[in-house]
Amino acid sequence: MRIATWNVNSITARLPRLQAWLAAAQPDVLCLQELKCGDEAFPRDELAELGYDVACHGSGRWNGVAVLSRVGIDDVTRGLVDQPAYEDVVEPRAIGATCGGVRVWSVYVPNGREPGHAHYAYKLRWLEALHATVLAEAAAGRPFAVLGDFNIAPTDDDVWDIARFAESTHVTEPERKALAMLRDAGLTDVLPRALKYDRPYTYWDYRQLAFPKNNGMRIDLVYGNDAFAGAVTDAYADREERKGKGASDHAPVVVDLTL
């Protein structure tokens, strides 16, 4: 079984590339983030032509998540347990579904903007809601994973130059503590266990030639329980998909499992 995650940074802008990538990579399940598309405008028909059922959760603003599956899609849940609002809006940043016997959540964690900002406090509250959701889901005992754009680099080695992040989000102790809480809840960051190379970045800014210079970050993560992580046979960040005209600023992350 092949399960992937990808922040597409607008599904409308990225649709031709998404279609080509699905045809080439052949994932059974794909979690998407940053749709920038409302549910009514989601390109269901185009993806159905490739054999994918869709569960989406979007409002057309700077967020939105979805799960695509060609192995069935059931028990769809939109939103986290006690998910907090930001400026009185509960944003569409999380969707769960069961696909081929595997429970997946596609998540787009708030950016946080900068330490001390109200959005940073919101990010930490949102991560608490994610933790509560993980605790509720993990009790089922089936293969389970949370995949998506976490907007957190787990370690200093997951950013190209930690000195550049001294006053920034994504690397602060409270954010990393939230990831540690997911690990305490029984989840494992599966990517480093399977990768065969160092520093597998998943995001490169569009500015200042960040991608050609490999000035990247690993913020697109796959956290799975023992039943999921123990079945992983390979994983990779598809760096090639970050290349060329019209690319997202994130690369897809792909995990292969034997279940």
Q: Is the pLDDT of residue 6 over 80?
A: yes
Q: Which carries the bigger pLDDT value, residue 62 or residue 47?
A: 47
Q: State the catalytic residue, choosing from 28, 120, 131, 149.
A: 149
Catalytic residue among 57, 131, 170, 250: 250
State the binding site. 7, 34, 149, 151, 249-250
Q: Over 60: is that where the pLDDT of 222 sits? A: yes
Collapsing DSSP to helix, strand or coil, 120 comes out as: helix
Binding positions for Mg(2+) are 7, 34, 149, 151, 249-250
What is the full DSSP assignment across 12-80? HHHHHHHHHHHHHH--SEEEEE---SBGGGS-HHHHHTTT-EEEEE-BSSS--EEEEESS--EEEEES-
**What does the pLDDT read at residue 198?**
61
Span 142-153, average pLDDT:
97
Q: Region 78-104: what's the mean pLDDT?
A: 97
Question: Which of the following is catalytic: 28, 52, 57, 108?
Answer: 108
Point out the least confidently predicted range of 12-16, 61-65, 114-118.
Answer: 61-65
Average pLDDT, the chain: 95
Q: Residue 192 has which token pair?
A: 């480093």
Q: What's the burial of 47, exposed, middle or buried (CB within 10 Å: 0-12/13-18/19+)?
A: buried
pLDDT of res. 194? 59
- Go through the domains of the chain in sequence order and give each one's CATH number: 2-257 (3.60.10.10)
At residue 167, the pLDDT reads: 84
Q: Is residue 138's pLDDT more than 90? A: no
| Global confidence as pTM | 0.96
Residue 62 in this model has a pLDDT that exceeds 60: yes
pLDDT of residue 199 exceeding 70, the answer is no
CB atoms within 10 A of CB 237: 23
Please say if 108 is a catalytic residue. yes
Q: Is residue 250 flagged as an active site residue? A: yes
Per-residue pLDDT, 139 = 75
